[in-house]
Each structure stands twice: as C-alpha cells, then as structure tokens.
C-alpha cells in the first residue's frame, strides 16, 4: 500500500501528531483507527471472519444476506422495540447495529477521537507493536463521488451487484448505541464486499501530500503500558468506552496489568541505581 508510516518514539511525539490533526483547517475531518497489532490489515470484520477464504463476490453477498436476515428476524427478541425501525433503516444502519453486537459485517470501525484510537492501539497484544491509522474523510468522500457517484445507502443493489467496483466511502452511521457514542464511532463501507479498505483508501489518497494521505503511526510494544497509563489519566479506559458491566470488568483487568507494570518498572529502576 502507498501510505505514510511513522514509528513513534515517545508519548510527546504521539500527542504532537494527534494534536496537529485538530488544528487543521476545515474541511479536513479525520477518521482514525487503533489496531493492537501494527501488522494487521485494514479489513472489515466480515473478511476477518471468513479469513479471505471466499473469493467469489456472489458467494460472499449470499452469506452476508443470510446473516442480515437472521439478525433482523431475532433482534426484536433482545432489543427495545423503539430502537429498531425496520421500515426506514438502510443496510448500513442495520450493519452498524450488527457490528455493535459482534456480528461480522462489511463495515470497518473508525473513530473521530485521536485518543480513543490510541487506546485501541495499546490496550491489547502488549507484546506486539500497535498502530494508529488515520485519513481525511472529506477528501476520500470527494474522490469516491467523482469516480463512482454518491453512495446510495438505501439501494440494496449498491452492495449486491456483481462486479469489482472497489469504492470505499466514509459514513457516520445513523443509529448510535451507548458504546459507539462513547467511542465517537464512524465507519467506512465498500460497495465491493471483498475490498481491502486500506488498499483502496491508500490508492485514492496517494496523490495527496504529507498526512493528508493514509497514515500509520506505529507504537512500539515497549511503550504500550506507559501510553495506556497516560490514557487512564485522561479517563479513556475500558469502563468509559464500553459502558456496562463488561466494560467495568475490562477496566479492572487493565488496572491489574498496569499495577504489575508499575511495580516491575519500579524494581528495575531500583536495581539500576
């Protein structure tokens, strides 16, 4: 892929880069994504679930439609009736709800918050480098519209037609859950279900300069505990990003991990004196 890659050396360097995004002139609005393993591709959960084992667009769409119908047929058993509007919801709206409840979809999660993205880059896989990816969403939208026209979210044929029109659009999502609201969640969606979102975005923005291209900030594994600790002081924790008892449980796990890290770091410091 044709993208920028920057290896982060310190918390201050990360903050300087993330803060620089916030002072850019409009219409530069950034989509950011944290990944716990810097080697992971920017693939939606549907492709990760099938491990790219499906090579045929028709087969993939058939499986996707089955998953959507199964979810639609049973969601009312678990969700409040006023949450779901079967008459007006687009496929993207349904997919965003499915994604929230761990159903694989063609959507790829992003966030509008630099520090939420940083959290997801460092909260897991503590022995591997993490990464924060970002790109300017309005610029991608403009390029996709000029090449393929606007995204027709309510048109099922937009997503099921055969062919390899690999368009990737940024979308806000029309129905937020507590979790997606807390995480300032947004998405990218492709009209081609088998598309590698990272490759398409990188290609679309390859002609732009500097950080206006797809950019990856690599966070070394050795810095993850420190960065997670600093994010905790900003109240960016599992408890705040995953409202509910599961988030509280994850937060306790984080605190245990950080306590052991601090004690180990303190012992190592004393031994070097």
Provide the pLDDT for residue 1.
77
Report the half-sphere exposure of 48 (CA within 13 A, side-chain side): 15
Tokens of 202: 């990188």
Whether the predicted pLDDT of 201 surpasses 80: yes
CB 212 within 8 A of CB 203: no
- Other Cβ atoms less than 10 A from the Cβ of 207: the count is 10
- Report residue 24's pLDDT band, with 50, 70 and 90 as the boundaries: low
- Report residue 155's pLDDT band, with 50, 70 and 90 as the boundaries: low
Q: Which of 159-163, 199-203, 223-227 has the lowest mean pLDDT?
A: 159-163
Tokens of 267: 């012992």
Q: Using DSSP, state whether 264 is helix, strand or coil.
A: helix
Domain-wise residue ranges, the chain: 4-224, 237-273
Sheet strands side by side (includes 185-190): 4-7, 215-219, 130-136, 30-35, 108-111, 185-190, 168-171
Whether the predicted pLDDT of 180 surpasses 80: no
80: exposed, middle or buried (Cβ count in 10 Å: 0-12, 13-18, 19+): exposed
Provide the pLDDT for residue 216.
98
Q: What is the arithmetic mean of pLDDT over 129-156?
A: 90
Q: Using DSSP, state whether 253 is helix, strand or coil.
A: helix
Q: Which of 32-36, 139-143, 154-158 has the lowest mean pLDDT?
A: 154-158
Match 């029309």 to its residue by tokens. Answer: 174
Provide the pLDDT for residue 27.
58
- Other Cβ atoms less than 10 A from the Cβ of 256: the count is 10
Whether the predicted pLDDT of 133 surpasses 70: yes
CA distances from 103 to 13, 57, 75, 106 (A): 36, 19, 12, 10
Whether the predicted pLDDT of 107 surpasses 90: yes
Q: Which of 79-83, 234-238, 247-251 has the lowest mean pLDDT?
A: 79-83
- Please tell me which of 60-64, 69-73, 101-105, 220-224 the model is most confident about, judged by mean pLDDT: 220-224
Q: What is the arithmetic mean of pLDDT over 171-200?
A: 84
Q: What is the arithmetic mean of pLDDT over 72-76?
A: 82
- Report residue 263's pLDDT band, with 50, 70 and 90 as the boundaries: confident
Q: What is the arithmetic mean of pLDDT over 44-66?
A: 83
Provide the pLDDT for residue 268.
64
Residues 6+ apart with CB under 8 A from 42: 33, 108, 133, 196, 197, 198, 199, 201
Note the pTM of the prediction, 2 decimals. Answer: 0.88
Phi-psi label, residue 132: left if phi above 0, alpha if psi -120 to 50, beta otherwise: beta
């Amino acid at each position: 892929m044709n993208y920028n890659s920057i290896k982060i050396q310190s918390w201050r360097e990360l903050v300087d880069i993330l803060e620089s995004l916030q002072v850019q002139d409009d219409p530069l609005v950034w989509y950011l994504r944290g990944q716990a393993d810097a080697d992971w591709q920017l693939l939606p959960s549907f492709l990760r679930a099938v491990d790219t084992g499906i090579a045929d667009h028709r087969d993939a769409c058939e499986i996707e439609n089955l998953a959507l119908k199964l979810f639609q047929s049973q969601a009312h058993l678990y969700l409040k009736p006023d949450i779901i509007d079967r008459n007006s919801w687009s496929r993207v709206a349904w997919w965003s709800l499915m994604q929230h409840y761990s159903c694989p979809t063609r959507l790829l999660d992003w966030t509008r918050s630099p520090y939420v993205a940083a959290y997801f880059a460092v909260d897991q896989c503590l022995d591997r480098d993490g990464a924060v990816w970002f790109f300017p969403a309005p610029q991608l939208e403009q390029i996709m519209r000029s090449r393929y026209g606007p995204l027709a979210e309510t048109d099922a044929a937009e997503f099921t037609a055969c062919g390899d029109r690999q368009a990737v659009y940024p979308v806000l999502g029309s129905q937020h859950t507590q979790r997606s609201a807390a995480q300032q969640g947004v998405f990218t969606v492709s009209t081609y279900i088998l598309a590698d979102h990272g490759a398409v975005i990188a290609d679309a923005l390859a002609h732009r300069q500097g950080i206006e291209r797809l950019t990856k900030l690599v966070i070394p594994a050795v810095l993850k505990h420190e960065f997670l600790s600093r994010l905790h002081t900003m109240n960016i924790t599992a408890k705040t990003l995953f409202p509910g008892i599961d988030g509280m449980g994850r937060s306790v796990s984080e605190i245990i991990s950080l306590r052991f890290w601090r004690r180990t770091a303190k012992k190592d410091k004393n031994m070097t004196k």
